[in-house]
Amino acid sequence: MLVADVFLNANGHYMQYEPEQALALVMRAKHKGAGVQEIAAQLRDWTTE
């Protein structure tokens, strides 16, 4: 999450999310096998310019 946030900030984009949302995404990826496409879609939803 932090890496994505730093990369986007360096390119003029920002992510807006609550810590609980980030934790839920990490837990889905770790325990329920959320795929790359699901994770990417969530990150796009949080991204603003």
Q: What is the pTM of this model?
A: 0.69
pLDDT at 1 over 70: no
Per-residue pLDDT, 23: 92
Instruction: Give tens-digit pLDDT for 4-47.
Output: 778 778 878 888 889 899 999 999 998 888 889 998 899 889 98
Distance CA 36, CA 49 (A): 22
What pLDDT band is residue 49 in, cutting at 50, 70 and 90? low
User: Which pLDDT value is given to residue 41?
Assistant: 92
Long-range contacts of 23-28 (CB under 8 A, 24+ apart): 25/1, 26/1
CB neighbours of 12 closer than 8 A, spacing ≥ 6? 49
Q: Where are the domains of the chain?
A: 2-48
